[in-house]
Amino acid sequence: MGERVGTAGPLASQSAAGLLASLVDKSVVQAQAGGTVRYSLLETIRQFAARRLAESGAEPAAHTSLLEWALYVARSAEARLGSTEWPALGEPAIR
């Protein structure tokens, strides 16, 4: 699912996983292991990126991309509503 989010720009989808691994190796992104690996930016990096995004004028497109991803997650979950998979779906994808 990271490929859907990580390729909002000119990045090829094959590159998203490699780029994310590189950022983890450089300690720019933190990976929290569990049932599903979750990634987070260091707070200072997140603030810097948010400022740059706003300055670039691309913030509306980024918000649209995020909403499209959330809709994709919701529709995927809805398709499995009531199945034996249902209880495990909510925890890793939406927090």
Q: What is the pLDDT of residues 33-73, one digit of tens each?
A: 877 888 899 999 999 999 999 999 999 999 998 899 889 88
82 or 61, which is more confident: 61
**Distance in Å from the first CA to the final CA of the chain:** 15
pTM: 0.60
Number of domains the chain is built from: 1
Quick check: 86 and 93 in contact, CB under 8 A?
no
Give residue 72's domain range. Answer: 2-93
* Residue 31, helix vs strand vs coil: strand
Quick check: 30 and 40 in contact, CB under 8 A?
yes
